Structures are given as C-alpha cells and as structure tokens.
Structure 1
C-alpha cells in the first residue's frame, strides 16, 4: 500500500503551519486584490475555475476574460511563493508543500457545488 504521507508528521505539521501562517488557509493569496478574489470566487461558483490537487487554481472551462486570467495568475504566483517558503522550512520541495497544502488546507474548504481537479486529473464537483 502506498503511503499518502511518506514524510514524518512533524514535517507535515511544519508545512501545514507555515502555509496557513502565510494566508493560504483562507483560500486567498495575499498578493491578490479584493476585486481579484471576488472574481475568482464568482468563477469558482460558476464552475469556470477550480482548485487543483497540485495546490494551484486552474481553469475548468476556457475563459476569454483577461482580468480573470490575471487574477488566477496573481493568486497562483503568490501561492507558489508561499509554498516555496513553507517547503524550505520543512526541508522539502515546492511541489510537495503545494500538494500537502491542497490535501490538508484547501480541499476541506472547497464549498458544495465547486469543482476541483483530483490527483488523477479529473474534475470533480463537491
């Protein structure tokens, strides 16, 4: 059986605490504006944008709105920076920190009706 968390619980705790402390726990990256957050929240409710198991936002449906694309880019860039810091603090990679944040912080906060992309690459509606 493959272990879901091959690292120690201490490292997992460090990653989770570091990411939460950086503001990812609220589902918003601190570099985005309130208008960008509102756009992303609306796009999530409409099913255009969803969370992904890699810890970043993704487009479930194509968007021609450059402002929404920019909002997703800003959010993902801020998340990447936060994951890099938390991964460094835990002695792991950005990718591992991002995936752990998705499982421990983001996934439990996805609202009913919203979409997320699982580790198999499938979009699933909560």
Structure 2
C-alpha cells in the first residue's frame, strides 16, 4: 500500500481534514438513524478501521454484513468525491477520515488499532496510526 510513506503536510492536510468532516455529515447521520447499525456498533460487532471503512470486530450476521457493505460503498463514494475536490487520492482521504472517525469513537465502541487488533474504546484516547493528524 502506498500510504506507508505518505505523510500529509500543510494545505493538503488542512483540506483533507476539513472535507473529511463534511464527507461524513450525511452518511454518518443516516447510519446512526438505522437501529441495526446502532445495535451492531453498541454490541461491538462492528467498528472503525484505520483505512476509513467499517469493519467486523466479530462474525457478522448476513444482515449486518450487508449493512456495513452498503455503508462502506457510500463512504467510498464520498471519499472519491472529496479526494477529487482536495487534489488527494481516495486512499489518502480515506486514511485521514479513518483517523478522524477513530478519534470520534465513544467509550465502549470498537475500533481497529494500527497493529490490526480490535480495541474497545475506554476513557483514554484511542490508539491511532502515528501518521494521523
């Protein structure tokens, strides 16, 4: 993956961070209204990944798998649109969004640490990739 040596700087970082917040206003709000999404998140079945997409912290039901796949498709569409607007790649934009989404997790929610392990957020800051802004 090319992101290994990528480190956002200056104006590019500011643009990516700003638009990442905007990119999630609609998909996140829509997802949070879905009781199945809220329940799966609260139960620790799904969580945020460093790549900006939702992942499975445990074996999902077919319904949860379909829900997450749909949300990830919507996220990729938002990342693609915003990456073009900021002059970054989809992967760079998704990574920065993943950093922000992991930072926004609440205590009790799952997220994936840089080493690939699933963690449950407690009162302390989450473990994030060292390249996160």
Same fold (TM over 0.5): yes
Gaps of 5+ in 1: none
For residues 74 and 39 of structure 1, what CA distance do their matches in structure 2 show? Answer: 13
- How many residues align? The count is 118
Provide Cα deviations, 1:67-96, integer angstroms capped at 9, x if missing partner: 222211111011101111222222221111
For residues 73 and 116 of structure 2, what CA distance do their matches in structure 1 show? Answer: 21
User: In the alignment, what sits opposite 1:82?
Assistant: 78
CA separation of 1:89/1:54 partners in 2, compared to 1, >3 Å: closer, same or farther? same
User: In the alignment, what sits opposite 1:45?
Assistant: 42
1:114 paired with 2:113, answer no
CA separation of 1:45/1:33 partners in 2, compared to 1, >3 Å: closer, same or farther? closer
CA separation of 1:62/1:19 partners in 2, compared to 1, >3 Å: closer, same or farther? same
What TM-score results when the alignment is normalised by the length of structure 1? 0.80
CA RMSD of aligned residues (A): 2.4
Gaps of 5+ in 2: 122-133
What TM-score results when the alignment is normalised by the length of structure 2? 0.76
**4+ runs of 1 displaced by more than 4 Å?**
none
